[in-house]
């Protein structure tokens, strides 16, 4: 008798969400779950798109976790956008992170092992937070500085911690890109400052000048202490677009910084730069003017926080009254110390600004006074404001303004019709139509 064929019910016909969705085993490794979803058939070693998924391996060296906190606050794009694959053209990111990942213990470390063994079904990037300690120094006393997971040799009780420097060494060659996040990872930062007992260094120093990722990319550096979360997520999204074949490799400067984010000094887009230009400076915190004389290094620091904001386009050092201490720069902190002291080179530039500003400021105030008036108020020689008395400009100001206007309209016709034949009877103007032009009314035609 022929066997009766039965069609399994469609997932949509199942009654509850629990029936439709397979239960997730949170104790398994997320990289393994990805492999079950989408086995790597014919995709071994594939790096460039189209790719559906990219794994991100987060490693933490000598860090305070501030970079992680900054990134979880990013909004454009947000981490959630990257993890859910919501951005058009950007593959979904599977993040393996020692703090925010759901799985723990062996299941968590398994993710890293799969990448090291080349058993993933997708490309991966390595993200390093914190500086890389010199583990050889720690070994001298039998210890270690920063580690994640253990390597078990023979006896499970004899597991040895695997340092994050070691993980970096193992994963960097096969990564599509290595991204150093935060000033500790990009330039060494605070752990590598004067008196550094751990030999802490940047990812670039650790991997060396000749390091190239599997795609031929040197270390990508996103500095800041802490960095702007959006600077990181935006760069990751741009790199993922490239991996998916939808965009070129984003432009990086000679130190591996995203050029479009770090190409300008923070001073150029500072909300207080207008004060600097007019030579007006703050004397104490809380003043609204330029902060250079109380310690701001903004004019020589490559950073975009004044235009980007710290989180969700809000906040950011000088926007909220703080000085720039150069936290995105390779020389930070030693070359910017002592903080809260006037930067040595600023005396020359602030003196020049003061000199120029002493001429420019009064001229601008004069122009403002006249630009703040309607034409009618000029004719009536009074301002009908009930809010306060607006004094009429005196003879000196009117004379200065008269010559200034002459200069302003030297090679241009001033607005309005000043000749009698261009006006209606009674002196009213007809905007945009001159006598003799088509559209002119009879009363506009010359008599």
Applying CB under 6 A, which residues contact ligand SF4?
Answer: 224, 266-267, 270, 272-273, 276, 290-292, 296, 298-299, 301, 303, 305, 317-318, 324-328
- The structure tokens listed for 383 are 């301002």
Closer CB to ligand SF4, 134 or 349, in the complex: 349
- Rounded to a whole number of angstroms, the minimum distance from the CB of residue 62 to ligand SF4 is 19
Closer CB to ligand SF4, 61 or 189, in the complex: 189
How far is C-alpha 153 from the geometric centre of its chain's CA atoms? Answer: 43
Query: Angle at which helices 346-371 and 395-408 pack, to 10 degrees?
Result: 100
Phi, psi (5° rounding) for residue 2? -65, 140
Rounded CA-CA distance 113/119 in Å is 9
Q: Which residues of 72-97 are buried (b: 16+ CB within 10 A; e: fewer)?
A: ebbbebbbebbeebebeebbbbbbbb
- The structure tokens listed for 154 are 């023979």
Closer CB to ligand SF4, 51 or 291, in the complex: 291
Closer CB to ligand SF4, 91 or 295, in the complex: 295
Phi, psi (5° rounding) for residue 328? -90, -5
Q: Is 381 left (phi over 0), alpha (psi -120 to 50) or beta?
A: left
- Rounded to a whole number of angstroms, the minimum distance from the CB of residue 205 to ligand SF4 is 21
Closer CB to ligand SF4, 130 or 326, in the complex: 326
- Rounded to a whole number of angstroms, the minimum distance from the CB of residue 367 to ligand SF4 is 22
Alpha carbon distances (Å) from 312 to 71, 226, 228: 11, 15, 10
- Rounded to a whole number of angstroms, the minimum distance from the CB of residue 292 to ligand SF4 is 4
Give 52's contacts (C-beta < 8 A, 6+ positions apart). 38, 85, 91, 92, 122
Rounded CA-CA distance 119/105 in Å is 20
Give 33's contacts (C-beta < 8 A, 6+ positions apart). 24, 25
- Rounded to a whole number of angstroms, the minimum distance from the CB of residue 328 to ligand SF4 is 4
Burial class (CB within 10 angstroms; exposed 0-12, middle 13-18, buried 19+) of 218: middle
- Rounded to a whole number of angstroms, the minimum distance from the CB of residue 207 to ligand SF4 is 24
Which helix or strand (DSSP H or E) is residue 54 part of?
Answer: strand 53-60
Closer CB to ligand SF4, 247 or 330, in the complex: 330
Closer CB to ligand SF4, 213 or 265, in the complex: 265
- 417, 429 Cβ separation under 8 angstroms: yes
- Rounded to a whole number of angstroms, the minimum distance from the CB of residue 298 to ligand SF4 is 2
Give 380's contacts (C-beta < 8 A, 6+ positions apart). none
- Rounded to a whole number of angstroms, the minimum distance from the CB of residue 219 to ligand SF4 is 20
- Rounded to a whole number of angstroms, the minimum distance from the CB of residue 229 to ligand SF4 is 12
Closer CB to ligand SF4, 55 or 272, in the complex: 272
Closer CB to ligand SF4, 125 or 317, in the complex: 317
């Amino acid at each position: 008798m022929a066997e009766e064929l039965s069609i399994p019910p469609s997932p949509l016909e199942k009654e509850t969400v629990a029936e439709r969705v397979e239960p997730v085993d949170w104790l398994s490794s997320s990289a393994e779950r990805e492999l079950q979803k989408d086995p790597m058939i014919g995709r071994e070693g594939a790096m460039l798109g189209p790719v559906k998924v990219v794994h991100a391996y987060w490693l933490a060296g000598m860090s305070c976790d501030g970079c992680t906190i900054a990134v979880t606050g990013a909004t454009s794009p947000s981490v959630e956008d990257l993890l859910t694959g919501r951005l058009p053209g950007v593959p979904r990111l599977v993040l393996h992170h020692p703090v925010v990942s759901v799985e723990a213990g062996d299941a968590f470390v398994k993710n890293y092992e799969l990448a090291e063994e080349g058993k993933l079904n997708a490309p991966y990037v390595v993200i390093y937070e914190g500086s890389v300690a010199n583990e050889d120094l720690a070994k001298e006393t039998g210890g270690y500085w920063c580690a994640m997971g253990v390597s078990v040799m023979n006896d499970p009780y004899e597991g040895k911690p695997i340092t994050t420097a070691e993980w970096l060494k193992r994963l960097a060659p096969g990564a599509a890109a290595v991204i150093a996040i935060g000033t500790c990872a990009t330039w060494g930062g605070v752990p590598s400052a004067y008196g550094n007992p751990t030999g802490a260094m940047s990812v670039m120093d650790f991997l060396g000048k000749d390091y190239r990722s599997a795609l031929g990319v040197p270390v990508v550096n996103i500095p800041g202490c802490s960095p702007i979360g959006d600077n990181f997520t935006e760069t990751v999204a741009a790199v993922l677009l490239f991996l998916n074949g939808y965009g070129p490799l984003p432009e990086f400067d000679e130190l591996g910084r995203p050029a479009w984010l770090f190409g300008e000094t923070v001073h150029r887009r500072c909300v207080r730069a207008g004060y600097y230009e007019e030579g007006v400076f703050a004397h104490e915190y809380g003043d609204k003017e330029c902060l250079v004389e109380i310690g701001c290094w903004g004019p020589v620091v490559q950073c975009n926080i004044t235009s980007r904001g710290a989180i969700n386009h809000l906040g950011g050092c000088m926007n909220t009254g703080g000085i720039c201490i150069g936290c995105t720069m390779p020389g930070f902190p030693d070359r910017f110390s002592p903080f809260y002291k006037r930067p040595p080179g600023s005396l020359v530039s602030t003196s020049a600004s003061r000199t120029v500003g002493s001429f420019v400021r009064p001229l601008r105030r004069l122009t403002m006074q006249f630009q703040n008036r309607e034409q009618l108020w000029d004719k009536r020689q009074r301002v009908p404001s009930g809010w306060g008395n607006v004094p009429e400009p005196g003879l000196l100001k009117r004379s200065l303004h008269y010559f200034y206007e002459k200069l302003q309209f030297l090679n241009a016709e001033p607005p309005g019709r000043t000749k009698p034949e261009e006006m209606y009877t009674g002196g009213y103007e007809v905007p945009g139509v001159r006598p003799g032009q088509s559209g002119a009314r009879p009363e506009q035609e010359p008599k």
